[in-house]
Structure formats: structure tokens, C-alpha cells
Amino acid sequence: MKVVIVGGVAGGATAAARLRRLDENAQIIIIERSGYISYANCGLPYYIGEEIKEKSALTLQTPQSFYNRFRIDARVKQEVIKINRDEKTVVIRRIDDGEEYTESYDKLILSPGAKPVIPPLPGIDNEKIMTVRTVEDTFKVYDYIENNSPKKAVVAGGGFIGLETAENLLKRGIEVTLIERSTHVMPPFDEDMAAIMHNCIKDNGIDLRVNTSVTGFNENGGKIEVSIDNGESINADMVIMSVGVTPESTLAKRAGLETGIRGAIAVNTNMLTSDENIYAVGDVVEVNHYVSGKKTLIALAGPANKQGRIAADNICGIKSEYKGSQGSSVLKLFNMTAAATGMNNKATADSGYDYDNVILTSASHATYYPGATNMTVKVTFEKKTGKILGAQIVGYDGVDKRIDVLATAIRANMTAFDLTDLDLAYAPPYSSAKDPVNMAGYAIENILTGKVNQVHWSQVLNNSDDDVILDTRTDMEYAMGNIPTAIHIPVDSLRERMGEIPKDKKIYVYCQSGLRSYIACRILKQNGYTCYNVSGGYGFYSNVVKGSCLEAEGTGPCGLKKC
């Protein structure tokens, strides 16, 4: 059997290695357009910032090492320019000299990945405008910094690569303006959760512009003027375009293979295309979203690796299926961590679910053990069943392990009631006896079983003047910031002062995080009041609405740093 693989990196290289492990006699050829057969794509921005110092650390395999270990013929700086499906051949061009030749195949795997979106803006061809997608791109950016000592940079696009590159340029002493055309950075997150990241970005010295679009470029006096849609121009020494990627499906389209959304290659669960001898994997394919079941594009290394393995299995006669992606991802943003899995609010609404969210602030570990930090946890659930549909967490320590638990819960079709039952590891330096994941389950369970009614800040701020807002925090917390129209009664004094609260009105209750206000709601409800717990508390409000966390400097009333 002869298998030709178009593209290396995650999907193609994984498929090749798996094929060899399953079939020692197969002839396996990888054709890779870049100069590197397998590299750490997600690590590229960190080389720019000199967190990763050696070029060799970025290259996971070389053609020679791949041959030595697997006897796989990996050819770099070559590209497949045509597929002859009837003859089962591909036409390959050597990039260095332009020479073309033909290679036959029994099975073909397409893994060309995705390419950066380069909008057709005036002046876009300027050499000072670069991308960070391949190793070559990264070396170009690094060398430009070394040779030109730029003082100012503009990064267009606030996704993973845009944020990571902006942070690493800042580490190199470069002043950075980050431009994002939508309302917030990081599309997998809801706007309210992204607002916490906005505060972190700005606090670390990046000039963040959201709801802003780049309209063109003009070189002037050795600088590049970046025009934006409000008529302003920003002078910079370099520009990084990171406004997204699009499937590199040109080859597949020319071959007449079936395509789907945004031109991505359509595949079945075996990663087989519309041609029985051609498979496709990675960023070039459309997949089913695991939660919604809808077709989607998810350009992440984890799914690409799994798909490469599944394609190889099926080529070798092993029945293997890709059951869908849920977009589990994590981002390092300065000393903060942001992670998401499943669907955000927009995707959930578009999928037709009747859903709600809980938002809670939880400590990374037991608060009496030194060094605890807070994380904001948002979990989306189906109202009817309590099924977990998505989760987003922004914080510091322990974010990654909680999102992985919630990702597993989604994959297992768990409900909030299942989250409360999870038996998770506990010791004071690592967690609390009731882990934040358990707490999310308890919060949803309380809503589903009618123990508490919930309301979100957007509803409170648009409330009727006849409704009552109740602040149940301590005097110290209240003095640091409050809702001016709120009645202030600390929760510990509530039973004695209940007479100050009108019984014929709706009562919206908040504390710092949502826990004490829940207790207050239980007290009030059992005394005949119509009470609503404000999700996320004042800490969430101060981040999202006021644009800062009141206790970001030092230690707040709850005793936690980064409260």
C-alpha cells in the first residue's frame, strides 16, 4: 500500500506515524510546502518573545529524524499542485527550482491546514506587515525585531495568536496597540468573560481597541501608518495581521471534492472525503460540533492529531470514528489563564437551546492555605435537563484543570447533578473540599430545584425603579464600591433588619461573588419575600461594567489576592 500525505504538522505527521505503527510495509510519503515537517505551531509566539530561546525547540521532527524512526519519506519545500483522481496521482512542484513530477497513491490524506486571512486592504503588501502562522513567518518576525529594533507595533486581531503575539512583543520592549473589530477578544468567550481579559490586557500596558477595524496602510517616513475606521491613523514600525484563518482547500476544490462551510473539505466520521480513496484531516475540514451537532470549523491541534490517527486507522482497516469537536482551549495571558469548552451563549442560542448560565467566583485552593487566587467560572446549562453545554473560566491558578473536568463532563453528557457528585482530589494546596466544579453543580442544582431564583446583571441594571437592589456585603466592601441605588444590609445582620426591606417588591440581592447573596435569598424567601440572586456578584459587575476589579491591587476583604 502506498499512502501520500499532503501536509505535515499536526494532522499529517500524526497520520504518517500511526500508519507506520499499523503497517510496517506501507510506503508513506509526506509532501510539506514549508521547510519543516512537524513543528510546534502553538509555540511560535513564544519564540518571538524569547520564552523559547532555541529554534530547534520548535521543530518536533525533521525529515531525517522521521525517516530514521519510521522510514517515512518526508519531503519539505515541495507542494502538491494537482490531484488526478481518476489516475490516482498527484502532481508535485519543488518550490526551490519549480520542477514538477508525478507521484501515484493508493490512498491520499489531505492535511494542508489553514492559511491566514489577509484582507485586501490598501497597502497590505508592505514588508512591515507580517503574519505568525509558520516557522518561517516566526523567524521573519524575530529577525525583523533583531535587525530593526522596532518601538511600536500594531497587532490586528484578538484571537489566540493575536493575544499571544501582542504579549510577546511587549516582552521585547515594543509598545503594542491591539485592534479587534468585534466587541471583545477571544471569540470562544462571551463578552462578559472577555471583559476580564480586557482589563488584564490594558493593565499590562497594551492599548486595546475593540469595535475597531483596520481600513488600510501607508508607509510614511520609514513608519507604517495604520488607518482605522474612526478616521485615526496609528504610527507603527511593524504590523502583525492575525484576523483569523481560512481552510486551505484550493487543491481539494480543484479536484472536485465536496466542500462545506467556508470552503472546508466535507468528510464523514471516518475522515473520508467524497472520494473513497482520499481522506482529509485538521484545520482544512469541517466537523460536527459535539454539543450542537452542527457543522463547524475548529482549528486546534488536539482535534487535528485525533483526526490524523482516525484516518490512518481506517486506511488500515480499523473502524474508527471522529465523534466531533467541542473546542476545548486554554490561553496564557500574562499571569492570567483563560479557558473554554463547549458552546458560548451565541452558539447555544443559535442551536435552539433554552439555556441559562451560572457565574461564580471560586478560590483556586483552600483559602486558609497561602497563595489562593480567584477564578471566575461561567457554566452554561440546559434549563430543562441541567445538561452542561459549555464552560468558560478566567483566573490564575487551577483554571486548566477545572476546564478539563468540565470538558470531560460535556463529553460524558453530564448534568449539573452529576457535577455535584464528582469525587475530585482535594488537599489544601490544590483545591477545596468542595471544588469549584462541584460548586458550579450546586449553583445550577439550586436553580433547577427552585431553591433560588437567579437574575443577571444586565437584567438588574434595566430593572424597574420600583424594584429593590440589596447589597449584603460588609461595610468595608460596600465602602470600596457599590450600586448607589442599593440598600446595604450585611448578610449577618439581615434577620434583625428585614423590616427595612419592602415585602411587596422584587428584591435583587448581590454580594461580592454570589454565595452570601444566595444565603440572603434563602432567608428572605422563607420569610415571604420575592428574591433574586444576582449571578456573579459585585466582583463580576466591577470587572464587566466598571472595567476593573476593585481588589486587583493586593488583598481584598475576602483575603484573596487578585480578588
Is the separation of the CB atoms in 189 and 197 below 8 Å?
yes
Residue 549 is among the residues annotated as catalytic for this protein? no
At 291, the amino acid letter reads V
Is the separation of the CB atoms in 358 and 456 below 8 Å?
no
Is the separation of the CB atoms in 23 and 1 below 8 Å?
yes
Question: CA–CA separation, 330 vs 266, rounded Å?
Answer: 27
- Among the listed residues 35, 39, 58, 48, the one whose alpha carbon sits nearest the alpha carbon of residue 144: 48
What is 345-395 written as a DSSP string? HHHHHHTT--EEEEEEEEESS-TTSTT-BEEEEEEEEETTT-BEEEEEEEE
Is the separation of the CB atoms in 132 and 245 below 8 Å?
no
Please enumerate in sequence order all residues whose Cβ is within 8 A of that of 540, keeping only pairs 6 or more positions apart, or say none.
192, 359, 361, 376, 457, 513
Question: CA–CA separation, 304 vs 343, rounded Å?
Answer: 19
**Helices 191-203 and 160-171 meet at what angle, rounded to 10?**
10
Question: CA–CA separation, 419 vs 379, rounded Å?
Answer: 11
Residue among 42, 521, 549, 563 flagged as catalytic: 42
Q: Could you tell me the CA-to-CA distances from 269 to 287, 307, 311, 502 in Å, in that order?
A: 8, 9, 9, 59
Please enumerate in sequence order all residues whose Cβ is within 8 A of that of 263, keeping only pairs 6 or more positions apart, or say none.
246, 247, 249, 253
Is the separation of the CB atoms in 551 and 543 below 8 Å?
no
Question: CA–CA separation, 552 vs 549, rounded Å?
Answer: 5
Q: Could you tell me the CA-to-CA distances from 165 to 155, 170, 413 in Å, in that order?
A: 8, 8, 36
Q: How many CB atoms are located within 10 Å of the residue 232 CB?
A: 11
Question: CA–CA separation, 381 vs 72, rounded Å?
Answer: 46
Question: CA–CA separation, 441 vs 379, rounded Å?
Answer: 9
C-alpha cell at 456: 443577571
Query: Which active-site residues does the annotation give?
Result: 42
